[in-house]
Structure 1
Amino acid sequence: MDRLRLSPSVRRALFTGLAALWMAGPARAEPPPAVALVVAVDVSQSVDEARFTLQMEGIAAALEDPGVIAAMTGRPGGTLFAMVTWADQAGLALNWQRIATRADALATAARVRATPRQSGEFTCLGQMFRTVAASVIPAMPLPAERIVVDVSGDGIDNCTDPDNLEAEQQTLLGTGATINGLPILVPGENDVVGAGAYRAPGYGLRATPLPQDRTDLAQWYRAHVVGGPGAFLLAAAGYGDFSKAIRRKFVIEVSDAARRMEGSPALDPR
């Protein structure tokens, strides 16, 4: 039987197609992100325009920092990043972004910097826990090896019954997340917290008693916020220190340093 004769142009096209198929090889699964990081930012009544800007600028500057970029992009799957703002209610201010390259990090920083100011009256930490557990984590586009919720704020919860606050925290921890704390310590404002009783209207039928034990905000965050494998607390010495604190925190949270800290409940709060 005579061999099938093909024109030179057809042979070239056939060879090119076969070569492309060979070079592509078998389909490979996309590597999972090492960490899914939810940054939960307090925007309650105590956070004015200047403080809101300092927080957004601090997060954006951290995402542009070479050390943070190296940590977030150092593994093939990169890092998943989302931002939640919370006060009376919690909302997804920046949906999940995958940061696998420097360009991804810079683009995410620009989106953070462009976030319009959001505000509220009360500090409803339990509401934020519930939102992150019920809608933010389930919306992750890819599973991650670790889930970290990074909570920053300048006050204690003032609208959730204590038992309900613990239940909401445990529900969030039940998703497999680790909750880290970044209390913002403002001299003269939150040096002492937890004395007295306060009620945020619209959150249940009975008054919410605040803890009667006088304590400082860092200790309250240790007792009511942080939890999960490798959880830690790192405080900011005022809003002016927020950028430095969040940058350091990001590096720890997305690197192997957090894994080495399992069993240690907190860092030095200063």
Structure 2
Amino acid sequence: MCLAAPAAAQDCRLALVLALDVSSSVDPSEDRLQREGMGRALLAPEVAEAFLAGDPVALYAFEWSGRNAQVPLLPGWVMVEDEPTLGAVARGIAKSRRSHDELPTAVGAALGFAATRLREAPDCRARTVDVSGDGMHNEGFSPDLAYSTFPFENVTVNALVIGGAENSEDLAEWFRAEVLHGPGAFLIFAEDYDSYEEAMKAKLLRELQPPAVSAISGRDRPAG
């Protein structure tokens, strides 16, 4: 797996940050479904084709929970330019192990961490943060404060909301109101962790379409 080298904007179409929720509401089996589901979604033929169509995508992935608990899942930014690199990324995420399982849900801190990592990203034409979560923020500074404090200009933040742990309608509405940010931001809803893989696949396909950020907002359920 190759770390992303400095790149000109015309050489990178999207810097994409994937953020996985590992707060205490996520049990061990759900955590494994999330990691392995993301790995399989990245390797789905239609997703791989979207990744490798045209200029490359720079990818960063981390897990988040408490206010000081954001842990990278990959060795920094990875420039996805070929199938072997995408395969290495998918396997790395699928085989990763969570660092915490007892902490609250600090969405603001996760957003701040993502914005800081984007400062280190290659100079891509678009920048997107993708937050997966199954609960509302309950520790540390709020998402609103994160957006007013950290550099989110020209950054789109999408959400993959996982139902089951809380009232699904309330949870989706909270993410829509407090987390979605930037041009074309959208939300994908998974009924539960068993549905996570298909939801992640649908979300990645939408994010990878030109111009790398969807122009449609709102709650979407993946087909099937």
TM-score (norm 2): 0.87
CA deviation digits over 1:40-74, x for unaligned, max 9? 01000011211111111011001111111111110
Q: Which residue of 2 aligns with 1:93?
A: 73
CA deviation digits over 1:78-102, x for unaligned, max 9? 1111111110122222221111111
> Matches of residues 1-270 of structure 1 in structure 2 within 5 Å?
31-75=10-54, 77-88=55-66, 89-94=69-74, 95-119=76-100, 120-134=102-116, 136-140=117-121, 142-161=122-141, 164-172=142-150, 174-186=152-164, 189-191=165-167, 216-256=170-210, 259=213, 261-262=214-215, 264-269=216-221
* Greater Cα radius of gyration, structure 1 or 2: 1
Distance, in Å, in 1 between the alignment partners of 2:217 and 2:98 is 33
Q: How big is the shift at 1:169?
A: 2.6
Q: Which residue of 1 aligns with 2:3?
A: none
Distance, in Å, in 2 between the alignment partners of 1:174 and 1:112 is 25
**Greater displacement, 168-177 / 93-102:** 168-177
AA in 1 matched with 2:110 = M
Distance, in Å, in 2 between the alignment partners of 1:223 and 1:30 is 31
Contact 1:35 1:145 in 2 (8 A): yes
Secondary structure of 2:167's partner?
A: coil
AA in 1 matched with 2:129 = V
Contact 1:34 1:146 in 2 (8 A): yes
Distance, in Å, in 2 between the alignment partners of 1:122 and 1:146 is 31
Distance, in Å, in 1 between the alignment partners of 2:189 and 2:80 is 25
Q: Which runs of 5+ in 2 are unaligned?
A: 1-7
Structure with greater contact order relative to length (CA < 8 Å, sep ≥ 6): 2
Distance, in Å, in 2 between the alignment partners of 1:169 and 1:92 is 21
Change (3 A) 1:252 1:172: farther
The Cα RMSD (Å) is 2.0
CA deviation digits over 1:206-234, x for unaligned, max 9? xxxxxxxxx61111100011110110001
Structure 1 moving runs of 4+ over 4 Å: none
TM-score (norm 1): 0.73
